[in-house]
Amino acid sequence: MTPAALSALSLGYLFPAKERHVLQVHSAFQHALNLRSEEGTHLTLLCAKKYQNLPDAARVMLPEQWDWRRETAGCGPVRLTHGVVIAQRFRIDLNRATVWQPQLRRASRDPKTGLWPQRHYKTLDAQLLLFCLEHKVGSALQWQGNILHQGLRPQESPKQLEDQVPRLIGYGKGLTPDGDDYLLGYLAALWLWKLPPMLAAHYARLQQAIERQLPHTTDISQHYLRGALRGHFSQLICELLKQLNADAPTTTVIACAEQVMQFGATSGVDCLAGLLHGMRTLNAHH
């Protein structure tokens, strides 16, 4: 059988297209495929029509009815060599793909104006509430009042959140548990800014606490959190941060947040909840 000839539309800026790797299928879904090498390299192949960029993912133009689960069943190792991903049933040419690089730069906060306007926080908070009610989101975290009746509620103060890290890491279900996604969103909110000494110290302690607890969660979640600790986030999160920083019109902010929340079963809403917590922390210490 001739392998399907596919091509990548875009690559994340960390995707090692020119390197050589022998990869095994870690987990397969209809529109996404996670691959892992023995050395610990994680790569993702995404349907270009369904997903935006991740730092170490390739967005691939796929035929109608393509299903990664079917195309990788019993296929053996997947090889990356000379800019081509080679498997038993498909070959993906990476050489003509554009490289996505987020246009985010760390900025200093203006002590007179503080941070993101309060209207953006209130808008996102209300949007999160409505999204969870409409879609009956089943997160393990009780971060939104009484919507979710059981679970862990991250505390408000920076010190209390640091103390919660051992309970948050690995808390929840799925490849990326709810507590991990919440922390990733919080890290994204603080990463964008050159923090004053008190918040910088909190950020450093939080990073250290997360690093220590990484062995207690899934390997995919470890990968994403390690990336977040180094300032690597998805295009969806980067675009929302960019629009918040630019004080974009409310309709633009809402559209970006909606895309974040639609990612995964609960990952997006947990991430946005963590980002809102980060906004509260920043605005309380300006």
Read off the pLDDT of residues 173-224 as tens digits, 9 standing for 90 and up. Answer: 889 999 999 999 999 999 988 888 999 999 999 999 999 999 999 999 999 9
Residues 155 and 40 occupy one common structural domain: no
Name residue, tokens 């209809």. 30
How many folded domains does the chain comprise?
Answer: 2
The first and second tokens of residue 44, run together, are 């993702």
Provide the pLDDT for residue 26. 95
Residue that finishes a domain, picked among 100, 126, 147: 100
**Beta carbons of 143 and 181 less than 8 angstroms apart:** no
Provide the pLDDT for residue 116. 65
Residues 210 and 136 occupy one common structural domain: yes
In a domain, residue 109? The reply is no
Name residue, tokens 């995707």. 15
Q: How far apart are CA 44 and CA 41, in angstroms?
A: 10
The first and second tokens of residue 214, run together, are 């990484």
Provide the pLDDT for residue 229. 97
- The boundaries of the domain holding residue 88 are 4-100
At 209, the amino acid letter reads A
DSSP, res 141: B
In a domain, residue 111? The reply is no
Whether the CA torsion 230, 236, 237, 240 is positive or negative: it is: positive
Q: Give pTM, 2 decimals.
A: 0.93
Integer CA distances (angstroms), 129 to 22, 133, 175, 264, 272, in order: 43, 6, 24, 17, 11
Provide the pLDDT for residue 209. 98
Residues 128 and 71 occupy one common structural domain: no
In a domain, residue 13? The reply is yes
Residues 161 and 251 occupy one common structural domain: yes
Residues 225 and 187 occupy one common structural domain: yes
